[in-house]
Structure 1
Amino acid sequence: MEKHKVVVCDHIHEAGLELLKNDEQIDFVFAADIDKTALLDVIADADVAITRSSTDVDAAFIASAKKMKAIVRAGVGVDNVDIEGCSKEGIIVMNVPTANTIAAVELTMTHMLSCMRMFPYSHDHLKNQRIWKREKWYGYELKGKKLGVIGFGN
C-alpha cells in the first residue's frame, strides 16, 4: 500500500495532528516551524499540504510542489492561497467554511455583553485608577434592544 505524504505547514489542533499521525496510509510531516526555503524542499514530493494563515501558497510554493494533489486550508478563508495557480497545476484547494462558526458567534456575544455592561471601561478605571464606582458602571441590558447585523465573508 502506497502512503500519501501529508505536510502540515502551520500549527493545527493536537487532535488533528493525532489523526494524521495514526493513519497508516499517511506519511505525516510536521513542518510548521521551518523557514520558507526548507518548507519548499519538504513539499517537493508531498501529495497534500495542510495550511492555515501563516503559509502563503504562492507561485514558489506551487512550483516546488511537483506531486501536490490538494491544498487543505484548515480554516475559513483562502486569501493566502493562489487558487488560480493551483487550478492551472491541477491542485485541488479545499477549506473548512464552517470551522469557526461557533467560536465567532460566542466571541460576538461576549463583545456585545462586554460593551453593554461597560466592562472595558470599568476594568480600565479599576486597573489604572484603583477606584471602583459601581453606580458609574451599571451599563445596559440587551433585553429590548434592536440589533443590526452586517455580515462579511462566508
Structure 2
Amino acid sequence: MSAVEEKLAELGLSLPEVAAPLASYVPAVRTGAYVYTAGQLPMVEGKLGVTGKVGAEVTPEEAKELARTCALNALAALKSVVVDLDKIVRVVKVVGFVASAPDFTGQPGVINGASELLGEVLGAKGVHARSAVGVAVLPLDAPVEVEFQFEVAD
C-alpha cells in the first residue's frame, strides 16, 4: 500500500474502483511526466447518488462532498495508469464544472471539496492551479464534474 493510500485510510477513505467510461474515452492517459484524467463524476459503485442543479435541488454543501468524491475517483483513475500513487510529484491543475441554478455563484466553494481533499492527502504536492465554472447541465444530470492533471515520476 502506498503512503498516499495509507493517508486515505487515516482519513477513513479508500480508493474506489475506477469509474467505467460513459462514452468513447479512457479514465486517464499518461504522456511523459503528466497524467490527465477524464472528467470525473461523483460516481459511487457505478451510480450517481445525487442529481440536479447546485443552488436548486442540490445544496452547496452536498455538492462540495460530491467534488471530494470526484477527487477520490481521479486518484483511482491515476492509479490505474501509474500503479503507485507515491509517484505523484504534484497536482498541476484542477478544472471543476458545477451544474448551477441560474443564480448560483458559489462554484469555487463547491470545487474546494476536491482541492481540500488533495491537500489533506498530498500536502504540498496537492497545491494546484484551478478553474471552477458553472454550466447548464452535466452528463447524467450530475451536479459536479472535475478533471485533473498530475505530474508523476518515472
Scaled to the shorter chain, the TM-score interval is under 0.3
Q: When you count strand as a share of all residues, which structure comes out higher?
A: 2
Which fold has the larger relative contact order, with Cα–Cα distance below 8 Å and residues 6 or more apart in sequence? Answer: 2
Which structure has the larger Rg over C-alpha atoms?
1
TM-score (structure 1 length as normaliser): 0.27
